[in-house]
Amino acid sequence: MKNFSTVGARLTIACLISSAVASGAQAMQCDFRPNAPDQHVVVKGDTLWDISGRFLEKPWCWPQVWGMNKEEIKNPHWIYPGQIVYFDRAAGRLRLGTPIGANGAGGAGDPSDLRIQPQLRMEGLGKDAVKSIPNGVIEPFLSQPLIIENDELKNAPRIVAAQEGHMFLGKDEKAYVRGDLKDGTSFQVFRPGKPLQDPITKAVIGQEAFYLGTLKLVQPAAAGTDVHTFVVATAKEEMGKGDLLMQMPPTPMNHFVPHPPERKVDANVVAIYGGVTHAGQNQVVSVNRGKVDGLDVGSVLQLYHRGKVVTDPGASKGWHNMGDPKVKLPDEQVGSLFIFRVFKHISYGLIMQVTEPVEVGDVATSPE
């Protein structure tokens, strides 16, 4: 295999995100790591973020160096264990393929000798594909409504009574529900928690929700009444009168490509899951921006501690003609945030590559 030296050299690609990816987006510099390997054999347990990080200083630059457009970001050609990611240094791109002559024929492993393989499979589609980030951490957030936006609460069906003689409901017990089911038959049950405030405007933008379990429709309301009969399919916690219902969400998408938002996003951390005040690597936070602000699944934001306002004693004495003695220090970058679930105005993100604990109110912006 050819030996491509990286000593004393650093490949820098000034990549313009295609208009198909982000209309009006600014240029973004994508640096390959000085010690980036010539290739990486994908193994079980790899994540797309990990693989990207082997080659790139910024893992979210993957779409640019892979040459992906917006549609390919949403529906990527999945990567499977056993395949090889090559660093094509001449083109400044990453490529996926298998070497010709892998059994000993000449040229095996040379990035110029690639046979690009179709990545779609007819059977077990995506089952063994490499995930973007570790799914174990985020699985509850993919399927359970732990944040409820205000407009979702207005007409939510609710439990009005439990099975006779029961104060609370457990698995296989009957629940009586009132409200418009919108033709749904499977629902999640939740109990509203504390309101979530935008850390800047202080406006309430949603509510935390305690996930209780699921209900299955047994008998729709008869003519002249609006009370439906359900049975408890699963019970994480006891549920009862007054608890609210939401239709089961669609099967979550597990394969998504890390990429910058389609337009400039300025957000703040609203809450840290678990009620703690600080969050670290692989912890989940929510931010006060969502679909309407240009975020989608796979968007990556940079996290910053907001710069403090300090007093300049020299300015207060008129030194250097500096004016206002109050001055704001620069925001300090502390990590990255991978957005994995998006609502209208709020999104969940997984903290990546953090250097200091993240706090409520921290800044989350499009990567530079």
End-of-domain residue from the set 106, 135, 164: 135
| CA separation for the pair 207, 356 (Å, rounded) | 27
> Where does a domain end: 116, 135, 154?
135
Q: What is the pLDDT of residue 177?
A: 96
Average pLDDT over residues 163-183: 88
Beta-strand (E) ranges in 37-185?
39-41, 84-88, 93-99, 114-115, 147-148, 158-162, 168-169, 174-178
Identify the pLDDT of residue 206: 85
Residues 237 and 270 in one domain: no
Reported as a pLDDT band with limits 50, 70 and 90, residue 125 is very low
Do 109 and 206 lie in one domain? The reply is no
Residues 221, 280, single domain; the answer is no
pLDDT digits (tens, 9 = 90+) for 320-354: 555 667 888 888 999 999 998 888 889 999 998 88
Please indicate, yes or no, whether residues 326 and 283 belong to a single structural domain of this protein.
Answer: yes
The Cα 288–Cα 126 span in angstroms is: 32
Of the pLDDT bands very low, low, confident and very high (cuts 50, 70, 90), residue 63 is confident
Could you tell me if 240 and 169 are in contact, meaning their C-beta atoms sit under 8 angstroms apart?
A: yes
Q: Residue 336 maps to which CATH number?
A: 2.40.10.410
Q: Does a structural domain hold residue 141?
A: no
Same domain, yes or no: 180 and 126: no
Q: Report the number of distinct structural domains present in the chain.
A: 3
> Residue 321 and residue 208: Cα distance in Å, rounded?
49
Question: Are 127 and 232 part of one and the same domain?
Answer: no
Q: For residue 259, is it within any domain?
A: no
Out of 90, 116, 135, a domain closes at: 135
354 lies in the same domain as 270:
yes
Mapping DSSP to helix (H, G, I), strand (E, B) and coil, where does residue 69 land? Answer: coil
**Residue 257 covered by a domain:** no
Does any domain span residue 1? no
Q: pTM for this one?
A: 0.73
CA distance 351 to 300: 10
Say if 234 falls within a structural domain.
yes
Residue 52 pLDDT more than 60?
Answer: yes
Range of the domain at 357: 266-365
Residues 199 and 304 in one domain: no
Q: Does residue 98 or residue 117 have the better pLDDT? A: 98
CA separation for the pair 158, 244 (Å, rounded)? 4
